Chains A and B, each alone.
Chain A
Amino acid sequence: MAENNESREVLLHRLQVCDFILVELNEYLDTHPDDLEAIRCFEKHRAMRETAAEAYTRRYGPITIHDPAATQGNQWRWVEGPWPWDMEKEGI
């Protein structure tokens, strides 16, 4: 699949986009619970989010401790970097 060639940054950005849409729709639906178009849109992006999270975590490690990638054989992979605030290339 094409995603095999995609960088960490691209896959992460796709996940961030999906999650942002879900946050925005979540808050909107809290005050518009009867908006069916918004509910359908939420469901659509929830599915896209699942695909994006799977693609990211398979290659670049877990996003939450619930992801299968949090462990690998006898390894605890959760603590491995980069953490979200790290500047990757400068090693700070």
Chain B
Amino acid sequence: MWVYQKKLQYPIKIARPNAALAKVIISQFGGPDGEMGAATRYLSQRFSAPNNDMKGVLTDIGTEELAHIEMICTLIHQLTRNLTIDEIKKSGFDTYFVDHTTGLYPADASGNPFTAATLQSTGDAITDLNEDLAAEQKARLTYDNILRLADDPDVRDVIKFLRAREIVHYQRFGEANHTDLSRFYPLWAAAHRGCLRYLWLVPPQT
């Protein structure tokens, strides 16, 4: 279970509303590589983790992703406050506004609703961890693209924090992939240590 903490993981105070920016940042809420997908992915996959290290990594990173959903929603909430109808029309935010006003709806930047079709939970630790490594890089890229589009320093500061977290999580998933799983996947572990000769000469042990 979870206990809610009534605070953000990182401070957010956006001085200037900007609907056009909100429209692209929402992809990290409900888009294909967004935080809702990340939390859903890790908190689902953990039930088939074969060892305690992997259960811990998926639970703890999945939990942090829940806090990132809240940060992205806070960014959008603050970026879309006090908008005039004129600003809404000019910014291109009107296509979102017509369905959701300034409510938070998990969708990508093009308006497609959040879907679990962009993530997997395979029941296989190696497959899941490799998906997770890719997921962190895809989210990192999305944040890089947002940084290309955003010039507001208040927004950039928060996005840079979230981008850095993707890199740390990538590192942690890599470690989970390489260390303790050797007991379950001896061939894979051997290949990763660069022991190709060993791999061909010695049959895998259970």
Q: Which residues of A contact B (CB under 8 A)?
A: 9, 12-13, 15-16, 19-20, 23-24, 26-28, 30-33, 61-66, 78, 83-85, 87, 90, 92
Contact = CB atoms under 8 A, between A and B. Distances in A.
Contacts of A23: 9, 60, 64
B97 to A, nearest CB: 16
Interface string B173-203: 0011001000000000000000000000000
B44 interface: no
B60 A26 contact: yes
B168 interface: yes
B81 A84 contact: no
B3 A64 contact: yes
Q: Which 7 A-B pairs have the closest CB atoms?
A: A31-B175, A30-B56, A85-B74, A84-B8, A30-B57, A85-B77, A92-B81
Contact of A12 (B4, B7, B74): B7
A84 B10 contact: no
A78 B14 CA distance: 25
Contact of A27 (B4, B77, B172): B172
Given A16-B8, A31-B53, 13 more contacts: A16-B9, A23-B60, A26-B60, A27-B64, A27-B168, A31-B175, A65-B4, A84-B6, A84-B7, A85-B78, A87-B14, A87-B81, A90-B81
A24 B175 contact: no
A19 B5 CA distance: 11
> Looking at A15, A16, A83, A90, which has the most chain B CB atoms within 10 Å of its CB?
A16
Contacts, number: 75
A5 B11 CA distance: 20
B87 interface: no
A35 to B, nearest CB: 12
21 contacts: A16-B7, A16-B11, A20-B10, A23-B9, A27-B169, A27-B172, A30-B56, A30-B172, A30-B176, A31-B176, A32-B175, A63-B5, A63-B6, A63-B7, A83-B6, A84-B8, A84-B70, A84-B74, A85-B12, A92-B81, A92-B82
A20 B67 CA distance: 11
A33 B64 contact: no
Contacts of B14: 87
Nearest to A30: B56
A85 B4 contact: no
Contacts of B179: 31
A87 B78 contact: yes
B38 interface: no
A62 B175 CA distance: 36
B13 A87 contact: yes
B172 A31 contact: yes
A49 to B, nearest CB: 11
